[in-house]
């Protein structure tokens, strides 16, 4: 039997929706999309992904409007966006029911290594627990060694499998 991908997280505790470093977390509204797009563009540049603003606006609106699809979490400091995370919800027999895939996770470079990422993961894990999620999955590019180490410190396990995709 496969164990869930994330054990109880290690790292700073989020009190309500605020991290120890003052960063706050909240779920996005459609009115946040314009402010969010530059962060998504930075993430897509780093990950070498195609940035299509029209498509992204449509998909973000769908995600925000339909809570069954997942959640879009924003990270803010003094009302300025400093990061975001996209959670996509699914279902798995192997992982005991409802599961979640961290589809995108971005913290502005100048805000990294200050506890924002760890606190964001804790907020996301608590969000998942609150809606009955049993396991949380994520992926990191092979070249992102720093990301791999970060996720391992937070209790995520490498399954020694390859994520494979076929577009439909």
Closest-CA residue to 47 (of 35, 58, 55, 39): 39
In a domain, 2, yes or no: no
Record the pTM: 0.87
How far apart are alpha carbons 125 and 134 in whole angstroms? 10
Helix 33-47 and helix 53-65, axial crossing angle in degrees, nearest 10: 120
Asked, for residue 138, whether it belongs to a domain, the answer is yes
Asked whether residue 142 is domain-assigned, the answer is yes
- Burial code of 121-159, b = ≥16 C-beta within 10 A, e = fewer? bbbbbebbeeeebbbbbbebeeeeeeeeebbeebbbeee
Residue-wise pLDDT for 16-71, tens only, equals 577 777 899 999 999 999 999 999 999 999 889 999 999 999 999 999 999 999 99
* Residues above pLDDT 70, as percent of the chain: 90
Over its C-alpha atoms, the chain yields an Rg (Å, rounded) of 15
Interstrand relation of 80-92 and 24-27 (parallel, antiparallel or unpaired): unpaired
161 in a domain, yes or no? no
- Asked, for residue 99, whether it belongs to a domain, the answer is yes
Q: How many domains does the chain have?
A: 1
Domain range enclosing 95: 24-153
User: Residue 33: which residues within 8 A CB-CB, separation 6 or more?
Assistant: 57, 60, 61, 64
- For residue 4, being part of any structural domain is answered with no
- The CATH number given to whatever domain includes residue 129 is 3.40.630.30
Residue 118: Cβ-neighbour burial (10 angstroms; 0-12, 13-18, 19+): buried
Establish if 167 belongs to a structural domain: no
Give the model confidence (pLDDT) of 77-89 as tens digits: 988 999 999 999 9
Structural domain includes residue 19: no
């Amino acid at each position: 039997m496969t164990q869930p991908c994330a054990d109880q997280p290690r790292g700073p505790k989020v009190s309500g929706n605020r991290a120890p470093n003052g960063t706050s977390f909240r779920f996005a509204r459609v009115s946040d999309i314009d402010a969010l797009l530059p962060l998504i563009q930075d993430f897509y540049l780093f990950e070498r992904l195609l940035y299509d603003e029209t498509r992204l606006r449509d998909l973000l609106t769908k995600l925000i409007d339909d809570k069954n699809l997942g959640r879009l979490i924003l990270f803010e400091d003094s009302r300025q966006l400093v990061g975001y995370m996209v959670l996509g919800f699914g279902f798995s027999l192997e992982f005991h029911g409802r599961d979640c895939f961290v589809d995108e996770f971005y913290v502005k470079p100048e805000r990294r290594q200050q506890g924002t990422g760890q606190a964001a993961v804790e907020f996301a894990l608590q969000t998942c627990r609150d809606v009955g999620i049993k396991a949380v999955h994520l992926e990191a590019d092979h070249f992102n060694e720093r990301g791999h180490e970060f996720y391992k410190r937070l209790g995520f396990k490498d399954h020694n499998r390859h994520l494979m995709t076929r577009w439909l």
